[in-house]
């Protein structure tokens, strides 16, 4: 705030006007003047008017100054309060700010992803020097963990399982042919995890590791062609179509192939996806009464793809 200077001019200040030449003549000259000429009487200069004594209390200038000070203080206080409120809102989570809360979009609360440790000198599947795109990590450690609130299937608890466990996601008539095909493809290991959420959604994830990327990719292509022909569908599914919900899943070197049971379906719907990553193929299957929700299915596929990439 700039300082203001108030100048008070005393009344009567300034040069005192001098008398005329006649007023300055000596007394003798006045006595010698003719009688017919009136003798001017010298007019004394007005006495200086003393400056008024300031009354008790602030003058007008001081009152103006105090008013400016008070308004400035008020503005600073309001500014400080406003800045403090802004800093408080900035520090809060969006969901904690009234009027700015974001409704839940249906995503599950998964644990933070963490890639497992590799044996010394072993590269990741899509790095230079790993032309076979081999996963050297423990296959069980590459399984997506169950989200919060899930009831884990004790038979699919993240450990090793037999081939028959995977065949259960296919209709019974297709199992013998698929089993023979996988046996000839030199399937090495199968690990699985399954759980059920409070809304009734059941998820099963099987990781199939082959002896080479060629066998893994060949089985993925064979499974996709069978679905296109209306074959090798999950139990209870009579017809299926491509599921566009995973098109936005962007993981380098990986392209999920997703399908969904077409309407009209029975009491529950099935969605499933194949994720081929090097020598490993993930098969994700979700079922839910009334229909599988898009957001958790897409989320599950995306996170499992990231672990394999």
pLDDT digits over 270-306, tens only? 999 999 999 999 999 999 999 999 999 999 999 999 9
- Count of domains for the chain: 2
Indicate whether 77 and 197 sit together in one domain: no
Q: 32 lies in a domain?
A: no
Of residues 142, 297, 135, the one with CA closest to residue 216: 135
User: Within 10 A of 219 (CB to CB), how many other CB atoms are there?
Assistant: 21
Question: How many angstroms separate the Cα of 198 from the Cα of each of 151, 238, 305?
Answer: 8, 27, 24
- Give the domain-ending residue among 103, 130, 165: 103
* Percent of the chain predicted with pLDDT > 90: 58
**Same domain (yes/no): 145, 294:** yes
Same domain membership, residue 144 and residue 76 = no
Residue 90, token pair as written in the block = 């900035």
Report the SS3 class of residue 114. coil
Could you tell me if 157 and 67 lie in one domain?
no
Structure tokens at 169: 């996601």
| Residue 159 forms part of a structural domain | yes
**85 and 160 co-located in one domain:** no
Among 67-81, 99-113, 202-216, 286-300, the range scoring the smallest mean pLDDT is: 67-81
Please tell me whether residues 144 and 216 are part of one structural domain: yes
Same domain (yes/no): 156, 232: yes
What is the arithmetic mean of pLDDT over 255-280? 95
User: Does residue 131 fall inside a structural domain?
Assistant: no
In this prediction, residue 71 carries a pLDDT of 54
Could you give the dihedral angle defined by the CA atoms of residues 116, 144, 220 and 123, in that order, rounded to the nearest 10 degrees? -10
Tokens of 74: 């008020």
Assigned domain for 291 exists:
yes
Distance CA 134, CA 136 (A): 6
Residues 94 and 156 in one domain: no
Does residue 70 sit in the same domain as residue 190?
no
Query: Per the structure block, which two tokens stand in for 26?
Result: 């000596």
CA distance 46 to 241: 114
Based on the fold, state whether residues 156 and 264 are members of the same structural domain: yes
- Which tens digit of pLDDT belongs to each residue from 39-57? 444 444 454 544 444 444 4
Closest CA to 203 of 138, 145, 164: 145
My answer on whether 68 and 212 are in the same domain is: no
Q: Which range of residues forms the domain containing residue 63? A: 58-103
Question: How far apart, in whole angstroms, are the C-alpha atoms of residue 277 and residue 279?
Answer: 6
Residue 157 domain-assigned (yes or no): yes
Q: Which of 42, 75, 103 is the last residue of a domain?
A: 103
The answer to whether the beta carbons of residues 109 and 148 sit under 8 Å apart is yes
The residue assigned the tokens 């409120």 is 85
Q: Are residues 94 and 143 in the same domain?
A: no
The reply to whether 47 falls in a domain is no
**CATH number of the domain that residue 226 is part of:** 3.40.1000
């Amino acid at each position: 705030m700039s300082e203001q200077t108030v100048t008070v001019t005393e009344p009567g200040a300034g040069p005192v006007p001098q008398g005329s030449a006649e007023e300055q003549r000596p007394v003798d000259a006045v006595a010698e003047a003719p009688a017919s000429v009136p003798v001017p009487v010298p007019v004394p200069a007005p006495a200086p008017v003393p400056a008024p004594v300031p009354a008790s209390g602030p003058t007008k200038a001081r009152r103006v100054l105090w008013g400016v000070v008070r308004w400035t203080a008020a503005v600073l206080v309001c500014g400080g309060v406003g800045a403090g409120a802004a800093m408080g809102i900035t520090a809060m989570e969006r969901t904690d700010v009234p009027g700015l809360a974001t409704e839940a979009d249906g995503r599950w609360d998964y644990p933070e992803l963490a890639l497992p440790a590799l044996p010394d000198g072993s590269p990741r599947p899509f790095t230079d020097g790993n032309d076979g795109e081999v996963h050297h990590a423990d296959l069980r450690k590459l399984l997506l963990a169950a989200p919060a609130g899930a009831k884990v299937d004790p038979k699919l608890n993240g450990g090793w399982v037999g081939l028959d466990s995977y065949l259960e996601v296919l209709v019974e008539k297709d199992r013998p042919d698929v089993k023979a095909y996988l046996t000839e493809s030199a399937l090495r290991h199968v690990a699985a995890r399954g759980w059920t959420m409070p809304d009734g959604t059941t998820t099963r994830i099987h990781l199939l590791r082959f002896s080479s990327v060629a066998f893994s990719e060949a089985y993925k292509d064979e499974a996709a062609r069978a679905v296109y022909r209306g074959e090798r569908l999950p139990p209870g599914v009579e017809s299926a179509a491509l599921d566009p919900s995973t098109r936005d899943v962007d993981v380098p070197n990986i392209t999920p192939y997703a399908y969904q049971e077409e309407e009209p379906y029975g009491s529950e719907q099935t969605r499933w996806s194949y994720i081929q990553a090097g020598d490993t193929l993930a098969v994700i299957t979700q079922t839910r009464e009334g229909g599988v929700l898009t957001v958790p299915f897409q989320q599950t596929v995306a996170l499992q793809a990231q672990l394999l990439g």
